[in-house]
Amino acid sequence: MIEGIIGKKLGMTQIFRDNGTAEAVTAIEAGPCSVIQVKTVAKEGYNAVQLGFGEAKRLNSPQQGHLKGLGQFNYLREFRVGDSEAIKAGERIDVSLFKAGDLVDITGVSKGKGFAGVVKRHHFAGGPKTQGQSDRHRHPGSIGSTTSPGRVFKGMRMAGHMGDRKTTVRHLEVFEADSARNLLLVKGAIPGGRNGLLIIKKSSREK
pLDDT digits (tens, 9 = 90+) for 81-121: 887 777 888 888 888 888 888 899 999 999 999 999 999 99
CATH 3.30.160.810 fits 33-93, yes or no: yes
Sign of CA dihedral 10, 15, 17, 22: positive
| pLDDT grade for 206, boundaries at 50, 70 and 90 | low
Of 97-101, 120-124, 201-205, give the range with the top mean pLDDT: 120-124
**Taking the model in full, what pTM does it have?**
0.82
Which residues neighbour 20 within 8 Å (Cβ) at sequence distance 6 or greater?
none
How much is the mean pLDDT over the chain? 88
CA gap 186, 40 in Å, rounded:
32
Is the Cβ–Cβ distance between 63 and 27 less than 8 Å?
Answer: no
CA gap 28, 184 in Å, rounded:
5
Q: What is the pLDDT of residue 19?
A: 87
Q: What is the pLDDT of residue 60?
A: 87
pLDDT above 60: residue 147: yes
| pLDDT grade for 135, boundaries at 50, 70 and 90 | confident
51-60: long-range pairs with CB below 8 Å, 24+: 51/2, 51/5, 51/6, 51/76, 51/77, 51/78, 51/79, 51/93, 52/76, 53/6, 53/7, 53/8, 53/77, 54/6, 54/8
Per-residue burial over 1-35, b = 16 or more CB atoms within 10 Å of its CB, e = otherwise: ebbbbbbbbbeeeeeeeeeeeeeebbbbbbbbbbb
Across residues 153-172, what is the average pLDDT? 93
- Which sequence spans correspond to the domains of the chain? 1-31+96-127+158-207, 33-93
Q: Which fold has domain 1-31+96-127+158-207?
A: Elongation Factor Tu (Ef-tu); domain 3 (2.40.30)
